[in-house]
Amino acid sequence: MNNSKLLLILLFLSVFSKGLSIDIRISLYHPHIIHSLMISCFEGGYSYVTGNGEIKEITQGQQLFLKNFNDEIWIREDDQGWTHTSQLFLSRTSGQSIISIKPASPVLPERNYYSNLEIHSVHGSLRVINVIDLESYLMGVVETEAGPSVPIDFYKVQTIICRTYAIRNFNRHQDEGYNLCDNVHCQSYKGRNKWNEDVMIAAEVTEGLILTDSDTMPIVAAFHSNSGGETQGAENIWLNGQAYLLPVLDPFSIDQPNAKWERSIAAEEWFNYLRSKYFTFDTPPDTMAYQCSQKHRMKYYIVDTDTLEYNKIREDWNLKSSFFSIFYHDSDFIFIGKGYGHGVGLSQEGAINMARKGYHFTEILNYYYHDIMIISYHDLPPGSLFQE
Ligand SMILES: [Zn+2]
């Protein structure tokens, strides 16, 4: 057998042993309405078809200027004239090609992307879609969500969570012609990862792995910054509870950067707020009755027969968490808070701390999510994937 045949067989085996990678379509700069932008080739090359039907290529350093006009995309290459078309596909001419996008109207940050681009004229603006394989997309997402300099097992945890989200929500924007947007509405994605080798290794080692419930359905893999020492059940803040999102005692989150916070609110301001929530008052109010203590997470702030959800208070006052106690001091109510975020599911700082202590990524995931399975989506029955 000659070498090229052997290479083909090895390639075939490696693709099928890992499963075929799927492409995902991400709408970029969502939800901005983009009227014009500059595209340049950062590395490699890209081919495209002009409005005249000519096949052209841009290589490193070359630019295209695009603007939306009369529901068409007008294209100008460097100093040449304009051509126009209804949609533009930029296909990479090498595996390593990177394209750079700089919206001009409105002015937005320049970003680099791997793989291919599709641009459509939609409702008087340019819709820019990055068509990219799922694993490369995840590396960009994980870098944004996990930040730099964390242990590699935390990157593995975050990659599996983000992959689970992408698979579960694959058709979230189906009606708009793409899978997910690049905004926090879906998952924050700012293009290619910046050569963080650990992020790449984490994606490779966990290739295909997602979290499912006992019926092999991808879970809502909720996460937050810091639990404050105890996570809360999903039913405390969302309408429906989930068997895998139960409260967990979380000593790993204590003493981490976002474990504590404090806020002071003038007593009169606090009383006015409670009046707006139909609390009844003695005259003058007994300030001590408005203190509260959450040693463990509770759902309701209670004063006599009046109640209010801690989570509602968090939303209304833009507090870091709903896990707080209130003390009266010198005409103010002092809020002593624990944690940062909604507190459901995995605590990122707790998980980072576990990874630093040597816990394996599967132990970390099983600690925060109850009765889950960590399996490859390639092995799932087709009905479990790509829910509406
Ligand atoms: Zn979205």
pLDDT digits (tens, 9 = 90+) for 102-136: 999 999 999 999 999 999 999 889 999 999 999 99
Q: What is the pLDDT of residue 52?
A: 75
Q: Which residues contact 220 (CB under 8 A, 6 or more apart)?
A: 168, 234, 242, 245, 345
Q: What is the pLDDT of residue 15?
A: 40
Between the CA of 10 and the centroid of ligand 1 the distance, in Å, is 38
Do residues 120 and 129 touch, judged by C-beta distance below 8 A? yes
- Over pLDDT 70: what percentage of the chain? 93
Averaged confidence pLDDT in the chain: 91
Neighbours of ion ligand 1 (CB under 5 A): 181, 185-186
**How far is the C-alpha of 45 from the C-alpha of 91, rounded, in Å?**
8
Higher-confidence position of 386 and 253: 253
SS3 at position 70? coil
CA distances, 269 to each of 260, 324, 333, 366 (Å)? 23, 18, 9, 43
**How far is the C-alpha of 269 from the C-alpha of 292, rounded, in Å?**
17
Q: What is the pLDDT of residue 341?
A: 97
- Tell me the pairing of strands 72-77 and 63-69: antiparallel
Asked whether the predicted pLDDT for residue 19 surpasses 60, the reply is no
Asked whether the predicted pLDDT for residue 12 surpasses 80, the reply is no
Between the CA of 175 and the centroid of ligand 1 the distance, in Å, is 12
51-60, 64-73, 336-345, range with the lowest pLDDT = 51-60
Higher-confidence position of 192 and 371: 371
Between the CA of 211 and the centroid of ligand 1 the distance, in Å, is 21
Between the CA of 181 and the centroid of ligand 1 the distance, in Å, is 4
Between the CA of 191 and the centroid of ligand 1 the distance, in Å, is 15
Confidence bin at 383 (pLDDT 50/70/90): low
Q: What is the pLDDT of residue 386?
A: 62
Asked whether the predicted pLDDT for residue 195 surpasses 80, the reply is no
Confidence bin at 336 (pLDDT 50/70/90): very high
Between the CA of 180 and the centroid of ligand 1 the distance, in Å, is 5
Asked whether the predicted pLDDT for residue 237 surpasses 90, the reply is no
Q: What is the pLDDT of residue 54?
A: 82
Between the CA of 185 and the centroid of ligand 1 the distance, in Å, is 4
Between the CA of 283 and the centroid of ligand 1 the distance, in Å, is 50
Torsion of CA 33, 39, 44, 48, to 10 degrees: 90
Confidence bin at 282 (pLDDT 50/70/90): confident
**How far is the C-alpha of 132 from the C-alpha of 114, rounded, in Å?**
7
Between the CA of 190 and the centroid of ligand 1 the distance, in Å, is 14
Q: For the chain, what are the domain ranges?
A: 22-133, 221-258+343-371, 260-338
Between the CA of 189 and the centroid of ligand 1 the distance, in Å, is 11
Between the CA of 96 and the centroid of ligand 1 the distance, in Å, is 27
- The Cβ of residue 107 has, within 10 Å, a number of other Cβ atoms equal to 8
39-48 residue pLDDT tens: 999 999 999 9
Confidence bin at 145 (pLDDT 50/70/90): confident
Asked whether the predicted pLDDT for residue 89 surpasses 60, the reply is yes
Between the CA of 29 and the centroid of ligand 1 the distance, in Å, is 11
Between the CA of 56 and the centroid of ligand 1 the distance, in Å, is 33
Q: What is the pLDDT of residue 146?
A: 87
- What is the side-by-side order of every strand in the sheet holding 36-43? 82-85, 72-77, 63-69, 36-43, 98-105, 111-114
Between the CA of 328 and the centroid of ligand 1 the distance, in Å, is 42
Q: What is the pLDDT of residue 387?
A: 55
Q: What is the pLDDT of residue 44?
A: 94
Asked whether the predicted pLDDT for residue 6 surpasses 50, the reply is no
Between the CA of 146 and the centroid of ligand 1 the distance, in Å, is 19
Between the CA of 343 and the centroid of ligand 1 the distance, in Å, is 22
Residue of 324, 322, 325, 354 lying closest to 341 (CA atoms): 322
Between the CA of 186 and the centroid of ligand 1 the distance, in Å, is 4
Residue of 175, 59, 67 lying closest to 121 (CA atoms): 67
Q: What is the pLDDT of residue 385?
A: 65
Between the CA of 35 and the centroid of ligand 1 the distance, in Å, is 20
Between the CA of 57 and the centroid of ligand 1 the distance, in Å, is 32
Do residues 231 and 339 touch, judged by C-beta distance below 8 A? no
- The Cβ of residue 21 has, within 10 Å, a number of other Cβ atoms equal to 15
**CA 264 and chain centroid, separation:** 32
